[in-house]
Chains A and B, each alone.
Chain A
């Protein structure tokens, strides 16, 4: 590849990214503006929240349980002799609240609700249902995007809380059965680490990730094209974009947390 070609490619990539940023910015603006008319989206938001919650709950609990076990074992493995075993519980609580709870919940839901929203809106786009909404005097952002974004942003909070609780509980179970901690040691280790800041950080992440998943999926879905195959590609593209954004956000939020606590 020649230098000129490379430059041309970079140019196209930058231009594409700028276009996406602009369009997503417009969708963001329109979405936020529509929040001012809750009557238009409130009842549909409940429907969506219930659907997302019911569909995601089992998987989220399973992921929470597994990550609690992993955190307990990994922390226990790192323990050099002489260090208090209570650290295991601290490792579980810290790991669950700050990273595993919110991030794994978000990644599981990227696959579930992100792909679902991307495919659903993508199908509506390629089968002219979005155009039909417009010609019938409805606003697709209010009818489709806002309820999903509101529902996803809110519902992630209880889901993350449940994932955290599940992880801390499964960490307790494995610590007291296989890793040689007494219940009292686990409890005191957990209490020793826990502070409100960590929980708040966990929930801030839940809100940020919930928004990211639903907004990104809606944006990608509404841009679908190319028939049924296009919808498949759209669902995949939505999941990939969501996971990348979640990890980027995760990196960005870490120093903020450190500065605040």
Chain B
């Protein structure tokens, strides 16, 4: 379980997070929506200890991330996979090398065939053929990079997967594919997922629960159905601004 309590963070003199409270239960798929620049990525970075809060706490399976020592942070990170907003593949490594990095350090020393088999399975799960194994990230399209990034996140079978805008910048067909992929992966690897997205359609499609983050606070949360029905002004403003959601 991930518990975020009263999280405060100022960046560049501006309060970005101003008391965020959030709880993510085991096995749940949570979508975090919100306008650009409200601190969605900043929030995710606090969960894996890439940023330290000014105040408040993040607890992952009982470990407080801000006050954890090196070992504690290592333990937390070994349970969480993070799909970055820009894929963040290692551009000096091939797809195979990138996927190996998704496994625990040293796991592939002297076990290259076993690891390659795992890499093939992960590629299969994201609908990529193993022809790409020896390619460099620069030789892949943006959509393929995103899928390799997801494969790198699932190969280690970590308990939590954080997706930072997995469909932003993709064409509708690829976006739909990625959404279906995330839904399938959540089922297959039984991971707890947090998906940050602007895309209301995909949030409602994927999530058990949706949270609207705005002005540094959680403005509203509920199931997709609850949020569609609500007359909470911040939610209405966000939903009505997007033409697709208007239809939904």
Contacts and interface: CB of A to CB of B under 8 A. Distances in A.
- Interface size of A as a range: 10 to 19
Interface string B82-119: 10111011111000000001101100000000000000
A131 interface: yes
A137 B88 contact: no
B158 to A, nearest CB: 10
A188 interface: no
Interface string A128-140: 1101111111100
Nearest to B47: A135
A137 B86 contact: no
Contacts of B78: 137
Contacts of A134: 48, 50, 77
Given A131-B50, A131-B84, A137 B90 contact: no
B105 A138 contact: yes
A127 interface: yes
Nearest to B164: A128
B88 A128 contact: yes
A160 B154 CA distance: 47
Given A137-B104, A137-B105, A138-B105, A132 B77 contact: no
24 contacts: A123-B91, A124-B90, A127-B86, A128-B84, A128-B85, A128-B86, A129-B88, A129-B91, A131-B45, A131-B84, A132-B82, A132-B88, A132-B89, A132-B90, A133-B101, A134-B48, A134-B50, A135-B50, A135-B82, A136-B101, A137-B74, A137-B77, A137-B78, A137-B104
A127 B145 CA distance: 13
Central interface residue in A127, A129, A138, by most chain B CB within 10 Å: A129
B25 to A, nearest CB: 22
A92 to B, nearest CB: 41
Given A128-B85, A131-B45, 16 more contacts: A127-B91, A128-B84, A128-B86, A128-B88, A129-B88, A129-B91, A131-B50, A131-B88, A133-B101, A134-B48, A134-B50, A135-B80, A135-B82, A136-B77, A137-B74, A138-B101
A127 B92 CA distance: 13
Nearest to A131: B50
A136 B100 CA distance: 10
Interface string B44-86: 0100101000000000000000000000001001101110111
Contacts of A136: 77, 101-102, 152
A135 B82 CA distance: 7
Nearest to A123: B91
A131 B149 CA distance: 14
Interface string A193-205: 0000000000000
Contacts of B45: 131
Contacts of A137: 74, 77-78, 104-105
B84 A132 contact: yes
Central interface residue in A127, A128, A132, A135, by most chain B CB within 10 Å: A135
Contacts of A135: 48, 50, 77, 80-82
Contacts of B88: 127-129, 131-132
A136 B101 CA distance: 7
Interface in A209-255: none
A127 B90 CA distance: 9
Nearest to B149: A132
Interface string B35-46: 000000000010
B106 to A, nearest CB: 9
Nearest to B98: A132
Contacts of A132: 82, 84, 88-90
Contacts of B84: 128, 131-132
Central interface residue in A128, A129, A134, A136, by most chain B CB within 10 Å: A136
Contacts of B82: 131-132, 135
Contacts of A131: 45, 50, 82, 84, 88
Contacts of B102: 136
